[in-house]
Amino acid sequence: MGPFLRDSAQVPEDADPPKPAAVVIPRTTEHVATSVKFAYDHELPVSIWAAGTGLAGGALPYEGGLVIAMHQMNSILEVDADARLATVQAGVIVQDLDSAVRKYGLFYAPDPASSARATIGGTIATNAGGLRCIAYGTTADHVAALTVVLADGSVISTGSRTIKNATGLNLTQLFVGSEGTLGIITKATVWLTPIPQGTPETFLASFDSIDDAGRAVVSMVKSAAELEVLEMLDATVTQWVEEDNHAGLAIPQAALIIGMAVGENAARSVDIACECAEHAGASEVRRQPGDGLMAVRKLSLPALQKRGVWVQGDTGVPVPRLPELIAKIEDIAEEEQHQVRIVAHVGDGNLHPMIEVVDNDWDTANRVTDRITAAAIELDGVISGEHGIGIFKHHELPMQFDEATLAAQHAIKKALDPKGILSPGRAI
């Protein structure tokens, strides 16, 4: 097994993988309902597989269980450009939907790093994030309605095609981010966004101090700059990207911030962001038209994978507390004498600390991961910003939720899945 990134705990390489009793590849909601009803009647654990891009282990099979593989439910059923809505089966690839609607002058705003492979259903089930969250929010903000198969095989519809809807409980958002524990999403109606006009503008800002970089981010976010993307790489990751790709980057002493603005005010927004960077002490600020500099951010994970095995963290904090969390991560790395690299969606406060796994020592890597998560919680943060909980972060839930809050979530699970067959022991 080669180098890779993974959230939290890792299954040993020599362990036998779980062997499900069967794999079902449905093409309709009715197929899913029939399969789930069979599993319910026979009390078989069910896992839902789509593209395998998840990072928290939520789609792994159960020994003797049923796998429902959604990749053949991949039809775009309708594009209603006037209403700015698209209705798709759950197995549609995110990038395919985005490409299909651009001829109408629209795009699908959620943009996880895995958008070329990830499915609409999977990204809804995990409430996926990505690079554009600072401007457009997470996947949850773009879901209008769902068709969901419940644990007993019954089928429900949630939400509506209207902008306003104050009718009944908001079941749509209940299923967004539920990671397959409450029901199986088979169809989704999602909101589309007009493509911004004009040429994108991008910038890079180098910093000799992580603290200065954090202060620059806070300043940018509270300013009038309308940024679509605001990312950060630490100096070592930046150096690795430059070594591999010869992108012409000046290697910073501490951190590199990458940002982009789109639309008619793009140039002015980048002006403001660059001013914020300079006022915070940037050692170098560079800008250029177009979105070419964004490739630097997307090259960071391949650079990391080339150089080792890593646990990929996924904590989130309020943006003003980013400098504190980064400082705590540095302290933890020093105390543990362990390498931790940082890439981050700093514009929305979502950090991906990359904890190195040395000589297959997962215990140490997981301990460092848990300490970083605890530090984020102390700063009013969350365990997961965009990857979900799955099995790999399940043990961390008591860090964020008290017993009463966990009990409320378990009560909802019990009501919708009384036999506990849907993704048992995961997410909640």
Q: φ, ψ for residue 85 (rounded to 5)?
A: -130, 150
In a domain, 350, yes or no: yes
Pick left, alpha or beta for residue 57 (phi over 0 → left; psi -120 to 50 → alpha; otherwise beta).
left
Quote the domain boundaries for residue 301. 201-378
Q: Does a structural domain hold residue 5? A: no
From start to end of 220-356, where are the E strands? 229-234, 255-261, 284-289, 310-312, 315-316, 340-345, 350-356
pLDDT digits (tens, 9 = 90+) for 244-299: 999 888 899 999 999 999 999 999 999 999 999 999 999 999 998 988 888 788 88
Residue 234: closest CA among 341, 340, 308: 341
Written as one letter, the residue type at 148 is V
Domain membership flag for residue 99: no
Location of structure tokens 């910093």: 207
Q: pLDDT value at position 44?
A: 97
CATH of the domain at 332: 3.40.462.10
Mean pLDDT of the chain: 93
Q: How far apart are CA 93 and CA 100, in angstroms?
A: 11
> Average pLDDT for residues 391-401, to the nearest whole number?
94
Question: What gap in Å lies between CA 383 and CA 377, rounded to an integer?
Answer: 7
* Number of domains present in the structure of the chain: 1
Consecutive H or E run containing 33 = helix 29-42
- Mean per-residue pLDDT for 180-205? 96
pLDDT tens digits, residue range 370-389? 999 999 999 999 999 999 99
- The Cα 293–Cα 298 span in angstroms is 10
Q: Model confidence at 15, in pLDDT bands (50, 70, 90)?
A: low
In a domain, 232, yes or no: yes
Assess if residue 242 is contained within a domain: yes
Check residue 297 and give its pLDDT. Answer: 81
Angle at 35 between CA 33 and CA 41, to 5 degrees: 100
The answer to whether the beta carbons of residues 52 and 123 sit under 8 Å apart is no
Q: Could you read off the pLDDT of 193-221 as tens digits, one per residue?
A: 999 998 999 999 999 998 899 999 999 99
Tell me if 231 is assigned to some domain.
yes
Q: Give me the pLDDT at residue 10, please.
A: 44
Structural contact between residues 313 and 355, judged by C-beta atoms closer than 8 angstroms: yes
Does residue 418 surpass a pLDDT of 50? yes
Whether residue 184 is contained in a domain is answered as no
**Residue 173, in any domain of the structure:** no
